[in-house]
Structures are given as structure tokens and as C-alpha cells.
Structure 1
């Protein structure tokens, strides 16, 4: 059974909050946009790294973390939060080296 749009939006927000909590536990400052399920991690240089939680059609409509500029990260479930943290850290490191 498909979720209602409001349920999907709430689920996306909850997943973004879970990722934000995990990133904060690693010492990162995290900003969350209230209007969208989007978080931003300020970078030492360059723009902040943005992460959204979206439905991914090619994965059966599952919620996935994706970079704001495009690029899938990992399924947006508790088991994959560590993968998303590693991906965000990698993105920040790549920008710092860039």
C-alpha cells in the first residue's frame, strides 16, 4: 500500500534528522532546512555538502539519501546511516582537496 504524500514527507524528514544526528555525533555542524527534507554540512572550503532524502524510483520507490547536486548515497534506513556518514565525509574531504 502506497503512503500518502504527507506520510512520505514526514518519513523523509525523520530520515534527514536521523542522518543529522549521526553526523553531529561525528563532530560535524549540520543545518537542516525546515521547508524541505534537506541537510547541509558546512565545508572548510567551497559550498556546504547538501543531502536530501528522496524516493528512488529505480529501487521500488524506497527512500534514499542523495546529494543535493545529484548522486545516490545509500538507502535511507538505520542500517545504512553509517554509509551515508562516510559518503558525506568523503565529499567534504574531496572539496577540501579540490
Structure 2
């Protein structure tokens, strides 16, 4: 994998920060990693729901939110932020039911 520029790393961190703020506004506790553009939402049972922000090669290198371990969620832009919040809520709910 090619080394990414500081601008790309910063863009990934800003998108994670924006998602964290959205999730917090919905009442979720969110932990943001300093070293890697990702966030974790602790759940009552099991592992936290982890969301990353990475470049997606099949989309021309656009930034996308993905669940840890794979599973693209949506493009990492303001237009799709609400979709990502809904997807995270769904993942939390499905883990709570299991």
C-alpha cells in the first residue's frame, strides 16, 4: 500500500471526528483513536462497534466509512453521515440482540 499524504490522513481524521460528533449527538459514548482514523462505540455486551475511515480503491480512492473487519458502510462525506449513524445504530442493535 502506498504511503498516504498528511492531507489524506488529516482528512480521514476529520471525517472520523465528524462521525463521532454525530453519534454523540444521538447519545452514544464514542472513543476516537489518536493513532489511527477510527472510532469505537462501546456496547453492553461483546466487542465495541468499530468504524474506520479509509480510502476505497474500487471507488477511485475516495474516503469511505467501513466497519472493522470489512463491510463498507458509505462514502465519508456530509451527505452520507446520517446513513452511517443509522448503520452504526443497526450494528449496535444486532450485537445487543445476539
Structure 1 stretches of 4+ moved >6 Å? none
- 1:69 is paired with a residue whose SS is coil
Between the aligned partners of 1:94 and 1:31, the Cα distance in structure 2 is 20
- 1:34 is paired with a residue whose SS is coil
Q: CA RMSD in A?
A: 0.7
Give deviations 1:24-46, integer Å, cap 9, x for gaps.
Answer: 00000000000000100001111
User: Which runs of no fewer than 5 residues in structure 1 stay unpaired?
Assistant: none
Deviation at 1:68, TM superposition (A): 1.1
Residue 70 of structure 2 corresponds to residue 70 of structure 1: yes
User: Which runs of no fewer than 5 residues in structure 2 stay unpaired?
Assistant: none
Between the aligned partners of 2:70 and 2:23, the Cα distance in structure 1 is 20
Deviation at 1:69, TM superposition (A): 1.7
TM-score, with structure 2 as normaliser: 0.95
The equivalent residue for 1:24 is 24
Between the aligned partners of 2:50 and 2:5, the Cα distance in structure 1 is 23
Between the aligned partners of 2:33 and 2:64, the Cα distance in structure 1 is 17
Between the aligned partners of 2:33 and 2:56, the Cα distance in structure 1 is 21
TM-score, with structure 1 as normaliser: 0.95
State the number of aligned residues.
Answer: 95
